[in-house]
Amino acid sequence: MAAGSETARGRIGAARAVAPARAVIAGVTPEVDCGRHAIKRISGDSVIVEADVFADGHDLVEAAVLHRRAGEESWSQAPMEPLGNDRFRGRFTVESLGKHEYTVAAWIDRFGSWRRDLRKRLEAGQDPAMDFEIGAGLVEGAAAQAEAAGDAADGAELRAAARTMRRAARQGRAGDGGVAAEAALSPHLGALMARWGDRGAVAEYARRLPVVVDRPRARFGAWYELFPRSVGRHGVHGTLRDVIELLPYISAMGFDVLYLPPIHPIGRTNRKGRNNSERAEPGDVGSPWAIGAEEGGHTAVHPALGTLEDFDALVRAAAGHGMEVALDIAFQCSPDHPWVVQHPEWFRKRPDGTIQYAENPPKKYQDIYPLDFECERWRELWQALRDVILFWAGRGVQVFRVDNPHTKAMPFWEWAIAEVKREHPGAIFLSEAFTRPKVMHHLAKVGFTQSYTYFTWRNTKRELEEHFKELTSPPVREVFRANLWPNTPDILHEFLQTGGRPAFVIRLLLAATLGASYGIYGPAFELCEAGARESAGAGSEEYLDSEKYQIRSWDLEHPQSLRHLIARVNRIRRDNAALQRDDTLRFHRVDNDEIICYSKSAPDLSNVILCVVSLDPRNERWGWTDLDMAALGLEAQGDEPYEVHDLLTDARYTWRGARNVVGLSPEAPGHILRVRGGGRWARTEAQFEYFM
C-alpha cells in the first residue's frame, strides 16, 4: 500500500508543506515475500519494475523507480511509463556486486493534467485564457525551483514560457493564444517541467525491496565433478598434482568449473567399505564425506592428495585454463574429527551420552556425526563453520557446492553466506538439497546462488515442460537459479541405466540447453557408466563400485567417450548468448510425445536457438512442429522461408511457417538450431552421428 512521504519527496525533488499524498501504489513486482528476501540479478542486468499507480479524480499521475546500492544515502531514479489500466513499468541497471534496493514513488502530474485539459478546451473551441493563467503559475513555480538549484538557463526558458502564457491570458481570444498553446504543449517545455515542476506530496511504496547482484558465473557455466583420488594411474591413489595434469583434458571439453568432492582427511572409525559396506577391509579408502582424522579437519588436505601448497597450485593452474575450482562444503564430522574431542558440545548426544551418528531412515551413516546447530555454544559453532568457508575463500576458492544444506539450520546459512559475501562478493554457493520444493526455494531465498533441481527425475515430455515452466516463471525465477545434473555420484537414474549411449546424449543435450548452468559427474558420464548396485534394492540409483567408497580407474581415451560431443555442446553454449540465460525459455508444440521442442533467445532476439530433442533412446521418432513464431522473432515472416542451422552437425535447412517436420534417431537424437530469418535454402552434408 502506498503512503505519503515527505522524506521521499526530498529524495526526488524539493519539498514543501502539503497535505498527504493522493497517489496510490500497489501490486509492485518483482517482490519476494513482501520484501523479506532479495531477487537475484547478474551485474549488467536490467531490473524491470512494475506497479499499479493511480489517484482519486481525473488527475494524471507519474511514477519513478528509486534505486541505490544498499548503504548509500541518496537515490537514483528511473521514470516509469504507463502500460494502460493504471499499470506502470520502469527499469534500472545494476552493475556492482552485492546488495541493492529499490522502491516506487508516485505523484500527481499537475502540469500533465493541465496540458491534457488545455488540449481538450482548445479542441472544443473554448476560451483558454484562464487555463493559460493557471499554467503560467505552474511554470513560474518550476522556474523558481531551477533558479534555486543554480540552473539559470532552465529558469530563464521557463520564465519566458510563463510570460507567453500570461500575455495570452490577458489578451483573450483576440490575442496570441496560438503562440501560447504552441509553447505550452511543446515537448521541450514538458521535459523542463518534468525536471523542475512541483510534484506536491509524493507517495512512496512502504517497502525497500532488495536485489542481490552476482557475477555472470552465477547464471552461466558448465561444471565437471571429479574425484581426485581416482586420477592416479593403474589404481594408485591420485593426488592434486595428478589433477593438474588432467586439466587440459577437462578444459578441452569446455568446462568452466572443476568441482572436487571433499579433499580433507577421512576418518577411520566406522569407515565404510566398498559399495557402502559397513565393514571396511584393509586398504579401503572410505567416503570423502566422513571428514576429519588425526591429520586435521575441514581446513586440512588429505595427506594422500597432497598439501595446501599443492591445492594452491591447482587453483592457479585451473585459472590458467579458464576454469575455477569449486569445493564441497559438507558440515559434518567423522568420529575422528578433531572437533569431536575439542568441542564435544557441538554434537547431539544420545541418552547414554554417546554421540548420535547421522541417519536418514532406513539409511545409516555410522561414519558421520552431524553437528548440532542449536547447541548451547551455537555461536562458537557457527563462527567456526563460517571460518572454514573464509579459509578456502582466502586460498582463491570462490565457488562452493554445499552438501545437504536443508539438514542444517537455515538461519545459519542466511547469516554465514552474508558474512562470506561481505568479504567475497563474488562467492557462489550451489545448494545440493534434493528435498521438498518449498524448502529448496527457501534456501535460495536465504542466500544460495544456485540449486540442484529435480531434472534428474524428469524424463517425460510432460514432466520436463511442467518442471521448467515452474522454474522459469515468477515468482520462482526471481530467486531460484537451476543447475542441472544428469548424474551425480549419488544418482544414476534408470533412464541412464537402461538407455545405453543414446540416453547419455539425450540427457546431455537437455541439461546443456534447458539450463544456462549444468554439470556432469565425470568421467562416469562421458564414458557412459551405467552399472547400478543391485544389492541396494529394486529401483536403486547407486552406482556399482561407486567412487564414493573406492578408487576407480578410467579409460579416458575410450573410443565410445562422449568427450568430443561435450566439447562441441559447450562451445555452442559459449558462442550463443541465448543459451546463457533461462528466462527466455519457451516450449513449442510437437505432435509426438517422445519429442520435445523449446527455444531460448537473447533479450533483443539477436540470437535465437531452437532445440528439438528425442526422449526415446531406442527408436526413430518423427513429428510436426507447431512453433510460436513470435518467440522466435519470426511473427512477421509469414510463409517466407527462413533458415535453421544445426550447430551440432553444421547442416542447414530451410523451413516455412510454424509447421515443419523433424526426424530424430538414437544415433542423432537432437538438434540445436540457430534460427536465421529470411535465409536462402542451403545445406551441407550432415554428420548423422555426433561423435565422429
Rounded mean pLDDT of 77-105? 97
Cell of 290: 566422513
52, 101, 109, 403: which one is catalytic? 403
> What pLDDT sits at residue 200?
87
In the predicted structure, residue 9 carries a pLDDT above the cut 50: no
Q: In what order do the strands lie in the sheet with 621-626?
A: 652-656, 641-646, 670-676, 608-614, 595-601, 586-590, 621-626, 661-664
Task: Please give the span between the terminal C-alpha atoms of the chain, in angstroms, as a whole number.
Answer: 62
Of residues 152 and 176, more confidence is placed in 152
- Which domains are delineated in the chain? 2-213 (2.60.40.10), 223-331+377-472+481-551 (3.20.20.80)
Q: So what's the pLDDT on residue 365?
A: 84
Check pLDDT > 90 for residue 298.
yes
Would you state the pLDDT for residue 2? 39
Question: How wide is the angle at C-alpha 228 spanned by C-alphas 225 and 231, nearest 5°?
Answer: 105
Mean pLDDT of the chain: 92
Cell of 382: 557457527
pLDDT over 70 (residue 3): no
What does 548-617 look like in DSSP terms, one character per residue? TTS-----TT-TT--HHHHHHHHHHHHH-GGGG-STT-EEEEES-TTEEEEEEE-TTSSSEEEEEEES-S
pLDDT given for residue 357 in this prediction: 87
Can you give the pLDDT at residue 667? 96
Total-model pTM? 0.91
When mean pLDDT is compared across 119-133, 371-385, 542-556, the lowest value belongs to 119-133
For residue 129, what pLDDT is reported?
Answer: 87
Instruction: Report pLDDT digits (tens) over 206-262.
Output: 999 999 999 999 999 999 999 999 999 888 999 999 999 999 999 999 999 999 999
Task: With a cut of 50, say whether residue 6 has pLDDT above it.
Answer: no
Give yes or no for a cis peptide into 344 (omega within 30° of 0).
no
Q: Which of 225, 242, 432, 478 is catalytic?
A: 432
Average pLDDT, integer, range 507-524: 98
- Contact between residue 467 and residue 460 where contact means Cβ atoms under 8 Å apart: no
Dihedral of alpha carbons 420, 34, 214, 467, sign: positive
- Tens digits of per-residue pLDDT, 588-619? 999 999 999 999 999 999 999 999 999 999 99
pLDDT at 177 over 90: no
Q: Confidence class of residue 680 from pLDDT cuts 50, 70 and 90?
A: very low
Q: For residue 199, name the pLDDT band (cuts at 50, 70, 90).
A: confident
Work out the average pLDDT over 625-641. 91
pLDDT tens-digit readout, 36-52 = 999 999 999 999 999 99
**pLDDT value, residue 263:** 98
Q: E strand or H helix at 535, and its extent?
A: none
DSSP conformation class of 187: H
The predicted pLDDT at position 328 comes to 98
Is 432 in the active site? yes
Judged against a pLDDT cut of 80, whether residue 687 lies above it is answered with no
**Which residues lie closer than 8 Å to 318 by C-beta, 6 or more apart?**
247, 258, 324, 325
- The Cα–Cα gap between 38 and 49 comes to 14
Burial 652-664 (b: 16+ CB within 10 A, else e): bbebebbebebeb
Q: Would the pLDDT of 691 be above 50?
A: no
Residue 57, pLDDT score: 93
User: What is the rounded average pLDDT of the residues 637-666?
Assistant: 94
Average pLDDT over residues 59-73: 96
Beta 428-432 vs 450-451: how paired, if at all? parallel
Bridge partner list, 590: 625
pLDDT computed for residue 679 by the predictor:
35
Confidence of residue 174 (pLDDT cuts 50, 70, 90): very low
Which residue has cell 528511473?
A: 78
3-state secondary structure of 91: strand
Please enumerate in sequence order all residues whose Cβ is within 8 A of that of 260, keeping only pairs 6 or more positions apart, or say none.
225, 226, 227, 228, 243, 325, 326, 327, 328
pLDDT at 241: 98
pLDDT tens for each residue of 542-578: 999 999 999 999 999 999 999 999 999 999 999 999 9
Q: Which three cell numbers stand for residue 453?
A: 533441481
Dihedral of alpha carbons 272, 314, 449, 207, sign: positive
pLDDT of residue 638: 80
For the stretch 336-354, pLDDT in tens is 999 999 999 999 988 988 8
Whether the per-residue pLDDT at 441 is higher than 90: the answer is yes
Mean pLDDT of the region 418-430: 97
Residue 18 is predicted with a pLDDT of: 63
pLDDT at 686 > cutoff 90: no
The confidence score (pLDDT) of residue 169 equals: 83
In this prediction, residue 246 carries a pLDDT of 98
Answer yes or no: 387 catalytic: no
Report pLDDT for 19. 82
- Poorest-pLDDT segment among 7-11, 319-323, 379-383, 406-410: 7-11
φ/ψ of residue 199, rounded to 5: -100, -5
- Rg (the chain; Cα; Å): 31
